[in-house]
Amino acid sequence: MLDNKAAKPMTMSQKILARHAGLPQVEAGELIQCKVDMALGNDVTTPPAIKEFRRLGTTKVFDQKKIAIVPDHFTPNKDIATATQVKMIREFVREFGIVNFFEVGEMGVEHALLPEKGLVKPGDLVIGADSHTCTYGALGAFSTGIGSTDLAAAWATGIAWFKVPEAIKVILKGKLNPHVRGKDVMLHLIGIIGVDGALYQSIEFFGEGLDCLTLEDRLSMANMAIEAGGKNAIFPAGAEACAYAKERAGSCGIVEVADPDAVYVREIVIDLADVPLTVAFPHLPENTHDIEDAFAQKISIDQVVIGSCTNGRIEDMRVAAELLKGHKIHPRVRAIIIPATQEVWLKCVNEGLMNIFVEAGAAVSTPTCGPCLGGHMGILAEGERAVATTNRNFVGRMGHPKSEVYLASPAVAAASAISGIICGPQHLQK
């Protein structure tokens, strides 16, 4: 063991990695083996992982309770190919006794579902064969995406290799303006640093500005760390995160705090009062514009999607309902609302939000990723434009290569659905 006096300072991410590697400390650039607390797959990435797992010749998984499989991208199955994929998954789950398998009737979009099911808590190390596994940093966990081959190895051994990332320190100060939420803050940050600005680095958030961000804001922000190239994003696990983990997981886990003199390769200060409602124009999340600029361009739209692992939680549904209440969706616009989990869907029913959505002229879906990746439930044709609360707007992401996706918050998406052009709540007629 190293003498504590000689130990080098560590970031939040480094402390979690060190503990899971059984080491007193780790440094950026170091290659380490870590025990994982959860290994996640979905309907797209699990079938190749199953094939690799069987090639290993392993007769059991490392822990039946530390694996989660969530078919969410094409749920319910949209065609024979997707039905065949999930049939393979069901058979694997039954054969190996995997406990945390969630599909039609109890499923949800994976990165909204796992925290809700109490499968992630502060201080955990979570890997998933999906790039947006970085979402769980909102709870003070180290979570990151991996490939299907690495997932198969983790299922067999409970271990994964990591290169310890460098870190960016983001200090938030001030308070958010009305209607501005975590999605806007993250788009604003990506607009500053670019889609490769945090390549293989941790994004660690600090500052008194955290006080005005809800847990759902943080989940939305951590979710999009990969859109800046980040290995992960992480927030200090405060009172709200700990209370949530205690309620859902039965434990607050292990709260890691960055050392005051931890090394960061870059420091960015954002005054939340300066963050506008923000829209990412095609075809990159870094192509950001403030809402006044977007509104001035009078960009007509054909579709609005409110949902996904980024913005499909109950706060997002409430924001959308508040704006849609008493309004009608523009006759030119198809509005699709997708609660991220069955629990969120049921809360929408019990709170009367479903009535508001349907009376406004929106279609409400069962939980699914669906249109986010151009899967189903809202594919765009050539020349069509969509405002979406999703996380990516690459060429062809939601359908035809000559369609366009504009990324925005639920407030902007709902206002745009009403007006037929990209706008904010302030632009709606009273």
Encoded tokens for 116 = 């809700």
Q: Which of 154, 169, 160, 153 is nearest to 205 (CA)?
A: 169
What angle do the packed helices 314-324 and 353-360 form, to 10 degrees? 50
Domain identity same for 306 and 404: yes
| Distance of alpha carbon 212 from alpha carbon 205, whole angstroms | 13
How many domains does the chain fold into? 3
Domain identity same for 47 and 142: yes
Domain identity same for 148 and 201: no
Domain identity same for 149 and 175: no
Q: Are 18 and 268 in contact, with CB atoms under 8 Å apart?
A: no
> Residue 44 sits in which domain range?
9-163
Q: Is 70 inside a domain boundary?
A: yes
Domain identity same for 186 and 114: no
Q: Is 2 inside a domain boundary?
A: no
| Residues ≥6 apart with Cβ < 8 Å to 246 | 252
Q: Is 1 inside a domain boundary?
A: no
The single residue listed with the structure tokens 């994982």 is 36
Q: Are 26 and 10 in contact, with CB atoms under 8 Å apart?
A: yes
Domain identity same for 304 and 256: no
Q: Is 399 inside a domain boundary?
A: yes
234 beta partners = 204
Alpha helices (runs of H) in 250-330, residue ranges in sequence order: 291-296, 308-311, 314-324
Q: Is 35 inside a domain boundary?
A: yes
Domain identity same for 109 and 203: no
Alpha helices (runs of H) in 194-313, residue ranges in sequence order: 215-223, 239-249, 291-296, 308-311
CATH code of the domain covering residue 417: 3.30.499.10
| Distance of alpha carbon 289 from alpha carbon 302, whole angstroms | 20
Encoded tokens for 4 = 């504590």
Domain identity same for 79 and 170: no
Domain identity same for 405 and 381: yes
HSE (CB half, 13 Å, CA atoms) of 308?
30
Domain identity same for 138 and 174: no
CATH code of the domain covering residue 239: 3.40.1060.10
Q: Compute the C-alpha angle 411/415/419, nearest 5°.
A: 170
Q: Is 4 inside a domain boundary?
A: no
pTM value?
0.93
Domain identity same for 151 and 219: no
Domain identity same for 103 and 199: no
Per-residue pLDDT in tens (0 to 9) along the chain, 430 residues: 344 445 899 999 999 999 999 999 999 999 999 999 999 999 999 999 999 999 999 899 999 999 999 999 998 989 999 999 999 999 999 999 999 999 988 889 999 999 999 999 999 999 999 999 999 999 999 999 999 999 999 999 999 999 999 999 999 999 999 999 999 999 999 999 999 999 999 999 999 999 999 999 999 999 999 999 999 999 999 999 999 999 999 999 999 999 999 999 999 999 999 999 999 999 999 999 999 999 999 999 999 999 999 999 999 999 999 999 999 999 999 999 999 999 999 999 999 999 999 999 999 999 999 888 888 999 999 999 999 999 999 989 999 999 999 999 999 999 999 999 999 999 887 5
Domain boundary among 258, 274, 290: 274
Domain boundary among 274, 302, 325: 274
| Distance of alpha carbon 114 from alpha carbon 136, whole angstroms | 9
